[in-house]
Amino acid sequence: MQKDPTRLSALNWDDLKFFLEVARTRKASSAAKRLGVDYTTVSRRVSALEHALGTLLFEKSRTSGFVLTLEGQRLLGYAESIESTLHMACEQVSGSGMALSGHVRIGCTEGFGTFFITPQLSHFVDTYPAISIDILPLPHFISLSKREADIVIALERPEHGAYVCCKLCNYRLRLYATPAYLERHPPLQQVGDLSQHRFISYVEDLAFSPELLYLNNLIPNAHAPLRSTSVIAQYTAAVQGHGLAILPCFLAGQDARLVEVLPEEVEVTREFWMYCREDLRKLRRIVLVWDYIREATERNQAFLLGDTGRMTFLD
């Protein structure tokens, strides 16, 4: 395409919204679903933006979808800055009621998201009904750069990126089994006895973080005939009474069907990190949710470390 600066006067700034969604999802159909329009509308608006700028923003590929060109990559940073500025502007000129409204999407690890974040934030939405929350408790990494979430809670601190990050909390994992399993199998009096038992664990080559591969460090060559990428699946299998599982205390510690095994000898401490994009951190709804999660985890340190089996909630 031949560039023509006079075309900028015909540029529709709303087309940037369509550009951003296609850049993040790489699919016009996915972008259309997120924007609540049809596929042809997305395609038409992106084409209009390319025409106004006089350049190609995407290469179309059958395998990779819509891939940003060099010009598209350059535009992406500017478009995201415009988007963030608009969010901030809306909050600055809106009344206080509007400022404490909106939508927040939280990505987190599967177990923590399901068994801690979800119950905690169910109380949050009762207090702040004008703020809607999406919780994504998934057993894989969630991308902030693609705007898959506004806030992420992860096992590791991000190595790079324009993020605001804080250590959220420590949590512990211990070895659990059902009383029925322990009755049917050789007694467990010391770590050496574990070699006679079978375990439920992660699929090593599919674990999304090396922080999850604690079984081999604790019990080399452990026999694990049942494995899963999901900690909730491991927990469910352990409850069936057919193996031992290393599970987070915040998950298994509140289930009376499971008991701790060798708690003084088999214990793992890990940490959660919370982060979000710098350009979102000052949004009032993000600040409110961020601070609520931090206070909830601080109040529940004993629960997360396995010192109590009871979760508490903010007033």
Whole-structure pTM value: 0.74
Judged by DSSP in three states, 64 sits in coil
Q: Is the dihedral of CA 290, 151, 109, 136 positive or negative?
A: positive
pLDDT at 29 over 50: yes
* Range name among 9-23, 67-81, 84-98, 254-268 with the lowest pLDDT average: 84-98
**What pLDDT score was predicted for residue 300?**
98
**What pLDDT score was predicted for residue 92?**
64
**What pLDDT score was predicted for residue 247?**
96
Residue pair 271/170 in contact (Cβ under 8 Å)? The answer is yes
* Range name among 47-61, 112-126, 211-225, 279-293 with the lowest pLDDT average: 211-225
**What pLDDT score was predicted for residue 94?**
63
Domains along the chain with CATH numbers: 5-93 (1.10.10.10), 96-170+271-299 (3.40.190.10), 171-270 (3.40.190.290)
Between residues 21 and 94, which one has the greater pLDDT? Answer: 21
Q: Which of 140, 170, 165, 162 is CA-nearest to residue 151?
A: 165
pLDDT at 17 over 60: yes
Tokens of 9: 């006067």
**What pLDDT score was predicted for residue 97?**
47
Tokens of 158: 């991000």
Strands of the chain, DSSP E: 58-61, 65-68, 102-108, 131-137, 151-154, 163-177, 198-201, 223-227, 244-248, 259-261, 267-277
Between residues 86 and 229, which one has the greater pLDDT? Answer: 229
* Range name among 41-45, 90-94, 186-190 with the lowest pLDDT average: 90-94
